[in-house]
Chain A
Amino acid sequence: MRFLSAIALALMVASPYTMANQKLDKMSKEDSNWVMPGGTYDFNVFGEQTEINVNNVDQLRPAWSFSTGVLSGHEGTPLVIDGMMYIHGPYPNNTFALDLDNPSEIVWQHKPKQDPAARAVACCDVVNRGLAYWPGDGDTPPLVIKTQLDGHLVALNAKTGKEYWKVEVMDISVGQTLTQAPYVAKDLAIVGSSGAELGVRGLVSAFNVKTGAMEWRWYATGPDEDIGLADNFNSENPHYGQEGLGQKTWEKDAWKIGGGTNWGWYAYDPDLEMFYYGSGNPAPWNETMRPGDNKWTMTIWGRDVNTGLAKFGYQKTPHDEWDYAGVNVMVLTEQEIDGEMRKVLTHPDRNGIVYTLDRETGDLLRADKLDETANWVKYVDMETGLPVRDPEYSTRMGHRSRDVCPSAMGFHNQGVMSYDPEQQNFFIGINHLCMDWEPFMLPYRAGQFFVGANVWSYPGPKGNREEGIGSGQVKSYNAKTGEFEWSVMEKFSVWGGTMATAGNLVFYGTLDGFIKARDSRNGELLWKYKLPSGSVGYPLTYTHNGTQYVGINYGVGGWPAVGLVFDLEDPSAGLGAVGAFKELQNHTQMGGGFIAFSLRGQGPFDDLSVGEYKPNN
Chain B
Amino acid sequence: MGLSIASFSAAVTAYDGTNCDAPGDCWQPKPGFPEKIEGTKYDPKHSKEELGKQQKAIQAMERRNAKRAEHFKKTGEWVYDISKLE
Where the two chains meet, the residues of A that have a C-beta atom closer than 8 Å to any C-beta of B are 1, 4, 163-171, 173-174, 176, 200-201, 203, 211-214, 217, 236-242, 245, 248-249, 251-254, 256-257, 288-295, 315, 318-319, 363, 381, 383-384, 386-391, 394, 396-397, 441, 443-446
| A165 to B14 CA separation, bound complex (whole angstroms) | 53
- Is B38 located at the chain interface by the 8 A CB criterion? yes
B23 contacts A242, C-beta separation under 8 Å: yes
- Chain B 38-64 near chain A by CB (<8 Å), digits 1 or 0: 100010111110111111011111101
Number of A-B contacts (CB under 8 A): 165
Minimum CB–CB distance for A38 against chain B, Å: 28
A173-B57, A256-B54 known; A441+B42 contact, CB < 8 A: yes
Apart from A174-B57, A388-B17, A394-B15, what are 7 other A-B pairs with CB-CB below 8 Å? Answer: A214-B66, A239-B1, A245-B25, A391-B14, A443-B47, A445-B50, A446-B53
A291-B37, A387-B17, A394-B15 known; A167+B51 contact, CB < 8 A: no
A388-B17, A389-B16, A391-B16 known; A240+B47 contact, CB < 8 A: no
| A62 to B18 CA separation, bound complex (whole angstroms) | 54
B24 contacts A315, C-beta separation under 8 Å: yes
Question: With a CB–CB cut-off of 8 A, which chain B residues contact A256?
Answer: 51-52, 54-55
Of the candidates B25, B51, B66, which one forms a contact with A4 in the assembled complex, judged by CB atoms under 8 Å apart? B66
B30 contacts A386, C-beta separation under 8 Å: no
Question: With a CB–CB cut-off of 8 A, which chain A residues contact B3?
Answer: 238-239, 383-384
Of the candidates A167, A238, A257, which one forms a contact with B65 in the assembled complex, judged by CB atoms under 8 Å apart? A167
Question: With a CB–CB cut-off of 8 A, which chain B residues contact A169?
Answer: 61
A446 contacts B62, C-beta separation under 8 Å: no
B14 contacts A171, C-beta separation under 8 Å: no
Question: With a CB–CB cut-off of 8 A, which chain B residues contact A211?
Answer: 69, 72-73
A291 contacts B18, C-beta separation under 8 Å: no
| A181 to B28 CA separation, bound complex (whole angstroms) | 37
Of the candidates A245, A293, A388, A443, which one forms a contact with B16 in the assembled complex, judged by CB atoms under 8 Å apart? A388
A291 contacts B17, C-beta separation under 8 Å: no
Which 6 residue pairs of A and B lie closest in terms of their CB atoms, listed nearest first?
Answer: A241-B24, A239-B3, A391-B14, A446-B53, A168-B61, A213-B69
B59 contacts A1, C-beta separation under 8 Å: yes
- Is B84 located at the chain interface by the 8 A CB criterion? no
The closest CB in chain B to the CB of A377 belongs to B17
Question: With a CB–CB cut-off of 8 A, which chain B residues contact A167?
Answer: 65, 68-69
A200 contacts B80, C-beta separation under 8 Å: no
A384-B18, A446-B53 known; A242+B33 contact, CB < 8 A: no
| A318 to B60 CA separation, bound complex (whole angstroms) | 32
A-B contact pairs, 25 of them (CB 8 A): A1-B59, A1-B62, A167-B65, A167-B68, A174-B54, A212-B72, A213-B69, A236-B1, A239-B2, A240-B23, A240-B24, A241-B22, A241-B23, A242-B24, A253-B51, A256-B51, A289-B37, A291-B36, A292-B25, A294-B27, A318-B17, A397-B42, A443-B45, A443-B46, A444-B51
Question: With a CB–CB cut-off of 8 A, which chain B residues contact A388?
Answer: 16-18
| A452 to B48 CA separation, bound complex (whole angstroms) | 20
Question: With a CB–CB cut-off of 8 A, which chain B residues contact A163?
Answer: 78, 80
B24 contacts A165, C-beta separation under 8 Å: no
| A388 to B19 CA separation, bound complex (whole angstroms) | 10
Interface centre among A168, A252, A292, A294 (most CB of B within 10 A): A168
- Is B86 located at the chain interface by the 8 A CB criterion? no
B23 contacts A165, C-beta separation under 8 Å: no
A383 contacts B1, C-beta separation under 8 Å: yes
The closest CB in chain A to the CB of B29 belongs to A291
| A230 to B3 CA separation, bound complex (whole angstroms) | 22
Minimum CB–CB distance for B25 against chain A, Å: 6
Minimum CB–CB distance for B27 against chain A, Å: 5
Minimum CB–CB distance for A452 against chain B, Å: 9
Minimum CB–CB distance for B23 against chain A, Å: 5
B25 contacts A171, C-beta separation under 8 Å: no
Minimum CB–CB distance for A461 against chain B, Å: 23
Question: With a CB–CB cut-off of 8 A, which chain A residues contact B23?
Answer: 238-242
B2 contacts A212, C-beta separation under 8 Å: no
B27 contacts A165, C-beta separation under 8 Å: no
| A587 to B25 CA separation, bound complex (whole angstroms) | 47
Question: With a CB–CB cut-off of 8 A, which chain A residues contact B42?
Answer: 288-289, 397, 441
Of the candidates B25, B30, B33, B68, which one forms a contact with A249 in the assembled complex, judged by CB atoms under 8 Å apart? B25
A389 contacts B17, C-beta separation under 8 Å: yes
A248 contacts B25, C-beta separation under 8 Å: yes
Minimum CB–CB distance for A599 against chain B, Å: 45
B18 contacts A446, C-beta separation under 8 Å: no
A293 contacts B25, C-beta separation under 8 Å: yes
B72 contacts A319, C-beta separation under 8 Å: no
Interface centre among A213, A242, A291, A293 (most CB of B within 10 A): A291
A163-B78, A249-B25, A293-B27 known; A257+B16 contact, CB < 8 A: no
Of the candidates A212, A214, A383, A390, which one forms a contact with B62 in the assembled complex, judged by CB atoms under 8 Å apart? A214
A396 contacts B69, C-beta separation under 8 Å: no
B64 contacts A168, C-beta separation under 8 Å: yes
| A217 to B61 CA separation, bound complex (whole angstroms) | 13
The closest CB in chain A to the CB of B15 belongs to A391
| A318 to B19 CA separation, bound complex (whole angstroms) | 12
Minimum CB–CB distance for A145 against chain B, Å: 14
A166-B80, A167-B65, A391-B30 known; A257+B2 contact, CB < 8 A: no
A171 contacts B58, C-beta separation under 8 Å: yes
B78 contacts A166, C-beta separation under 8 Å: yes
| A214 to B66 CA separation, bound complex (whole angstroms) | 8
A396 contacts B30, C-beta separation under 8 Å: yes
| A166 to B64 CA separation, bound complex (whole angstroms) | 11
Minimum CB–CB distance for B53 against chain A, Å: 4
The closest CB in chain B to the CB of A315 belongs to B24
The closest CB in chain A to the CB of B16 belongs to A389
B68 contacts A165, C-beta separation under 8 Å: yes
Minimum CB–CB distance for A331 against chain B, Å: 24
A295 contacts B72, C-beta separation under 8 Å: no
| A2 to B49 CA separation, bound complex (whole angstroms) | 22
A386 contacts B26, C-beta separation under 8 Å: yes
B68 contacts A253, C-beta separation under 8 Å: no
Minimum CB–CB distance for A442 against chain B, Å: 9
A164-B78, A165-B72 known; A444+B16 contact, CB < 8 A: no
| A253 to B49 CA separation, bound complex (whole angstroms) | 12
The closest CB in chain A to the CB of B71 belongs to A212
